[in-house]
Chains A and B, each alone.
Chain A
Amino acid sequence: MPVIEIAGLRKRYGKIEALRGVDFSVEKGAIYGLVGPNGAGKSTLIKALVGSLCPNAGTIRVFNLDPIHDRWSLRKRIGYMPQSAALYEDLSARENIAFFGRAHHTLQLNKKLDEILDFTELRDRANDPVHTFSGGMKKRVSLACALIHDPEMLLLDEPTAAVDPHLKARSWDFFREMAGRGMTLFISTHLMDEALLCDSVAILRRGQMIAVDTPQHILQRGKTRVVVQQGTQKQTTQIASTPEALANHLHQYGLSPDVQAVALQQDSLESIILSLVNKQEEKL
C-alpha cells in the first residue's frame, strides 16, 4: 500500500498553472527526492500534501487520508519543513522547537527536546534567539521543529538549499539515519546531484512529472563516452552508462573476458574539497 498516492493533481494561481496533472505514488520507508528547477511546482506539491493548499483538481491520499478533510488525523503523523525558515526570530531554538512540540501534545517534551537538540547539533546554542543564527543553523532548528513529534513521514522543502557542503553532507547523514528508523522522507531539491542520494527520484518540470525512477536507472538514461588513447591515436566511443557496457567495451583492448562489469567510482569535486577542508581543520 503506497503511503502517498497522487492522481491528476492540478493547482493554479490566477493565470499560472503551478501543477498540471501530476500522478505519483510513494511506498513506505525510504528517501524520495523531488527534483526540479525553481518554479517547477515542488513547494506547491508539498503544500498540497500537507494540506495547507487546496488543489483545483485531482486526488491526494497520504496514509490513505485526504490532507484537507482528514487533516486532524493526518497532521499527527507528518512533519513538515517549509522552504522558508518559518521560525520565531525572537525566541530561542529550544522555545521554537518546544512550541511546535506542545502543539502535538508531545509526551516527555523536555527529554525529547534534549535528544533532538543533540541530534541536530544545536545543544550549545539552544537558548540563543534564532535571529543570531546562521542560515544553516536555522535550517537545523526548522528540521528539529518538524521532527519533534516523531512523525512517520517527513516532508522537507529544499532542506539543503543555501547550505554549505559540509552541512549538506551532514544533513544527508541525518536523512539516512531517519530513513533507517523506518521514516518515509519526501525531500525536494533543485540541486540535481542530490538526486543520487535518494532511493527514488521524481523529476518535476513546469508542473508535470517527467520521470519517476531510481537514480541509477536515471543515470543509465545518459551516455558514457570512453576515450582511449593508443600512441597518438585517440578513439572516442559512446556506450551505455552501465558497468557491463564498459567491461564489454574494454574486452577489445584485452580486458580479461571473465570481467563482467567495470565501474569507476570517482570522488566528486565537492567531496574532495570537503575532505581538504576537514584535514585543514584537524591541523588547526
Chain B
Amino acid sequence: MTHTIIVAQKVVHQLRRDKRFLALSIVAPLIIIFFLKLFFDTMADGFPVERYVVPIAGFLVYFFAFLLCAMVLVQERSQGTLERMFVSGFHKRSIISGYVIGYLGLATLQAAVALGEALLLFHLDYSAQTILSLFLPIWLLAIDSVMLGILVSTFARSEAQVFPFIPLFILPSIFLSGLLIDNDRLPVWADWLGHIFPVYYAFDIIKGIVLRGEMFVDHWSNIAILVGYALVLLFLASATLKDVE
C-alpha cells in the first residue's frame, strides 16, 4: 500500500514538471475548442451547437489523457526506470495502482479544464447541476482513457510504438461512436462496432443531458459500462505488464 502511494506521488510530481503535460492537458484542448468555435460560427443559424460542443470536449480529453499516460509509461520502460523500480522492490500491482491514482488527478483536471473551456468559449450557460452531470461522464471517460493508456504501454517498447494505437483505438470512435453522426443512421455492423469504444457510452449520457434535459443519474447502464471498462482494462494491464523479461 505504501508503495502505491510512493509511486502515485512520483507520478504527480513528474507530471507537474513535464511540459508536455501542461501543453496536452490545458493548452491543446483550449486551442482546438477555439478553432471549433471559429468553425461553428460559420454555420447557418439554428445549427445545434450544443449537440457537438461537449461531446467534442469529451473526445479531446479521451484522446489527450490516453496519449499522455501511454507516453509517460512507455518512457518509463524505454529509459530503464521501470526495470529499476522492479529491482528496487516495487510490485507491479503497486506500480499500476500508483499510476492509476496519480492519473486520476490528471483525469479530473483534464475533464474540468476541457469542459470549462467549452462552456466559456461557447457561452453555454447550464445550471450547476447540469454542469456536474456533464463533468461526470467526461471524467469517467478520462479514467477509461488512462486505463487504455496503461494497457497500451504494456505492449509498446518505445514511444513511437504508441502511435499505431491512435488510428486503432481513438480515431474510429469519431465516426462510429456518435460524435459526429448518431449511430441509428449508420449500417448495423458499424453501429455495433461503435459500441466497442467507451466514448459511445459517454456520448450517450452527454447527449441525453444536453438534448433531452436528462441527468447523469438517468444513465445507470451507461455508467456501469464505463466503470466496467475501467476495471477490465485495469485487469488486462496487470496481466500484460511483465516484471521479468
Residues of A in contact with B (beta carbons under 8 Å apart):
47, 50-54, 68, 72, 75-76, 78, 80, 82, 84-91, 95, 99-100, 102-105, 129, 145
Q: Check if A99 sits within 8 Å of B10, measured CB to CB.
A: yes
Q: Once the chains are docked, how many angstroms separate the CA of A78 from the CA of B88?
A: 9
Interface string of B1-30 (1 = CB under 8 A from A): 011001000100110011000000000000
Q: Check if B86 sits within 8 Å of A52, measured CB to CB.
A: yes
Q: Can you name 22 A-B pairs with beta carbons within 8 Å?
A: A50-B87, A52-B87, A52-B245, A53-B245, A75-B87, A75-B88, A76-B89, A80-B84, A82-B80, A82-B83, A86-B79, A88-B10, A90-B14, A90-B17, A91-B17, A99-B10, A100-B88, A103-B3, A103-B88, A103-B89, A104-B88, A129-B17
**Distance to closest chain A CB from B104 (angstroms):** 20
Q: Check if A85 sits within 8 Å of B79, measured CB to CB.
A: yes
Question: Is B161 positioned at the interface, with any CB of A under 8 Å from its CB?
Answer: no
* From A52, A90, A100, A102, contact of B83 by CB (8 A): A52
- Most chain A CB within 10 A, of B6, B18, B84, B86, is at B84
Q: Once the chains are docked, how many angstroms separate the CA of A86 from the CA of B81?
A: 5
- Most chain B CB within 10 A, of A47, A80, A102, A104, is at A102
Number of interface residues of B (CB under 8 A): 22
* From B3, B83, B84, contact of A145 by CB (8 A): B84
Residues of A within 8 A of B79 (CB): 84-87, 89
Q: Once the chains are docked, how many angstroms separate the CA of A82 from the CA of B243?
A: 15
* Dominant secondary structure of chain B at its interface with chain A: helix
Residues of B within 8 A of A102 (CB): 6
* Dominant secondary structure of chain A at its interface with chain B: loop
Question: Is B90 positioned at the interface, with any CB of A under 8 Å from its CB?
Answer: yes
Q: Check if A53 sits within 8 Å of B89, measured CB to CB.
A: no
- Nearest to A105 among chain B residues (CB) is B2
Q: Check if B89 sits within 8 Å of A68, measured CB to CB.
A: no
Interface string of B227-245 (1 = CB under 8 A from A): 0000000000000000111
State which residues 59-93 of B face A: CB under 8 Å. 79-81, 83-90
**Distance to closest chain A CB from B13 (angstroms):** 7
Listed from nearest, the 8 A-B pairs whose CB atoms lie closest are A86-B80, A90-B17, A103-B88, A84-B80, A75-B89, A53-B245, A80-B87, A86-B84
Q: Check if B6 sits within 8 Å of A103, measured CB to CB.
A: yes
Q: Check if B83 sits within 8 Å of A86, measured CB to CB.
A: yes
- Nearest to A84 among chain B residues (CB) is B80
Q: Once the chains are docked, how many angstroms separate the CA of A88 from the CA of B83?
A: 13
- Most chain B CB within 10 A, of A82, A89, A91, A103, is at A103
* From B10, B14, B89, contact of A104 by CB (8 A): B89
- Nearest to B85 among chain A residues (CB) is A103
Q: Once the chains are docked, how many angstroms separate the CA of A247 from the CA of B245?
A: 54
Residues of A within 8 A of B81 (CB): 86-88
**Distance to closest chain B CB from A80 (angstroms):** 5
Q: Check if A51 sits within 8 Å of B87, measured CB to CB.
A: yes
Interface string of B77-120 (1 = CB under 8 A from A): 00111011111111000000000000000000000000000000
